[in-house]
Chain A
Amino acid sequence: MSRIEEVLRYIRRSRRLKISLLLAPPIIFLAIWFYAPFLILGLYSFNMINIYREIVFTPSLEHYTRVLSWTGAINIYLRSLYFAGLTVILCLLIGYPAAYYISFKMKKYKDVFIILFIIPFWVSFLLRTYAMMNLLDERGLLNTMLMSLGAINTPLKIMYTDVAVILVMVYDYLVMMVLPLYANLEKLDRTLLEAASTLGAGPIRTFIKVTLPLSMPGIMAGFLLVFIPAVGEFVVPELVGGPNNYMVGNIIYEIFMGARHWWIGSAFSMLFIAFILSLVIVYIRKIGERGLAL
């Protein structure tokens, strides 16, 4: 009994021991179930695991060179960047005026409208995607309405095209752009705008010279919060895109589950993760960690 008390007293006194004891369970959990899988992926990608699932020392870069010399893969990579980039731009074009209007033009009920903006995003990502499938379907409400209004004669084929993938991604990620923008615009010092107009700048000039530059941190945070999940998107192209609209996530999935080539799949994943992490590191270096706080 007294021995236990002695140990407890020792723990109480040592700060370092306290920190280690608190950190050990979560860190060990993450090390085993989050970081170790990437270590195994790394071993696969450098050809250090053979087909019998044994770790062998035969390091080589052949899988990386195969991925990098495979034009089909490069094209899918570029397509993902293009889809994600377009999604970000559209989210910005739709989200900025909305955030601006709620923050600057509304006097009462600001909070109500921001909540109204967030409510559709309480619904899970999968359900939102499915709800859009419903609307865009060839037999869906959009086509039925347009045809009965006489706007079109044959139903629009939106599903299983690039347009569907981008439209659904914009729908799914819009809130990730609007929230950081709104938070940024709310913090913007209104006296600066008054000063600009006192000094003779019109509303458009004030917007371009004052509001827009000051809201850059919000735009950058929104960019990152939309771009990162969008570039790694898997569900949306799988559900509303065809085989011609595949993105990185889908091709990695195909290599692992369809072709069962874990070595190439690992190399592809490692390159993709390196790309995402370098993007975030550049962002943190340039803007700081604050923008990432969720």
Chain B
Amino acid sequence: MSIFLKVFVIMVFIFLYSPIAVMVLFSFNESKSLGVFTNFSLKWYEKILANPHVWSGLYNSLWVAAVVTVVSIILGLMMALVVTRYNFSGRSILESIILIPIIIPEIAEALSLMVMYIFLNIPMGPMTVIIGHIAFDISYVTVVMRARMIGYDKSVEEAARTLGANEFQTFIRITLPMLYPAILASGLLAFTLSFDDLIKTLFTTGPGFRTLPLIIWSSAARGGVSPELNSLSSFALSISFLFAIFRLRAEKGAGR
């Protein structure tokens, strides 16, 4: 019985890793074949890295995600502070307001935002994309921060106040440094969510403003699988991994 289970689990791991491994492997394939590996070559990478659209897409993705992260952290922190520190009537309504953006399917959210932009004659471009990303990142940031704030020791703050620090000084010198792991973890999540986002960006972007996922999406939807897209996807994958490693380290730091 146990041996069957073991074989099954090994097969699950093969199922999990083989698509990604195959994609990365064939991005180094010399021929255009997707089924037979002929020779090692970097020519597809040379091709995509010489493409200015790839670089502008990466640049757009990065700066959009950076802006989204900063704003989401500030707004999410305000919300998380209220949720964890104060008890007041209407708390359950606030909880619902926070949870709903996580629950509603992104496609409905993205289309409704697009409808509003068009209804109000707001020209679409980088700003509308950033607003769309923030609108659903706030909730994720709040949820992660709240989970991290549960073990927060309030007596340190009280000690600072007793020793004569005013509220502002206490916040800057005590509260913020203590919340640093929570801010880091939720910030990295917000960054990843924005950097990887496709659907919101697809419907709220304007002419000419494309992010990396948008470039991958449009060429996958148009031409299907190709060695060039394999190398572009592997390139994007390595960036995702880099962020994931940062996130894991931040989580370890926060766990301490």
Contacts and interface: CB of A to CB of B under 8 A. Distances in A.
Given A12-B167, A33-B132, A253 B82 contact: no
Interface in A222-247: 228-229, 231-232, 234-235, 238-239
Interface in A4-25: 12, 15-16, 19, 22-23, 25
Interface in A98-128: 98, 100-102, 105, 116-117, 119-120, 122-128
Q: How large is the interface on B (under 10, 10 to 19, 20 to 34, 35 or more residues)?
A: 35 or more
B108 A272 contact: yes
Given A128-B20, A266-B115, A30 B138 contact: yes
A211 B203 CA distance: 45
Contacts of A44: 115
Interface in B172-196: 195-196
Of the listed residues B112, B198, B220, the one surrounded by the most CB atoms of chain A closer than 10 A to its CB is B112
B100 to A, nearest CB: 8
Of the listed residues B19, B94, B236, B244, the one surrounded by the most CB atoms of chain A closer than 10 A to its CB is B19
Contacts, number: 220
| Majority SS at the chain B contact face | helix
A29 B105 contact: no
A122 B116 contact: no
B98 to A, nearest CB: 9
B81 to A, nearest CB: 6
A82 interface: no
A177 to B, nearest CB: 12
Interface in B1-16: 1-2, 5-6, 8-9, 12-13, 15-16
A176 interface: no
Q: How large is the interface on A (under 10, 10 to 19, 20 to 34, 35 or more residues)?
A: 35 or more
B167 A40 contact: no
B126 interface: no
6 contacts: A30-B138, A34-B136, A37-B112, A228-B105, A234-B107, A292-B99
Q: Closest 7 interchain pairs by CB?
A: A232-B105, A144-B35, A124-B196, A122-B244, A37-B112, A131-B19, A26-B75
Interface of B: 1-2, 5-6, 8-9, 12-13, 15-20, 22-23, 26, 33-36, 74-76, 78-79, 81-82, 86, 88, 94-95, 97, 99-109, 111-116, 118-119, 131-132, 134-136, 138, 140, 142-144, 147, 167, 195-196, 198-199, 213, 216-217, 220-221, 224-225, 229-230, 233, 236-237, 240-241, 243-244
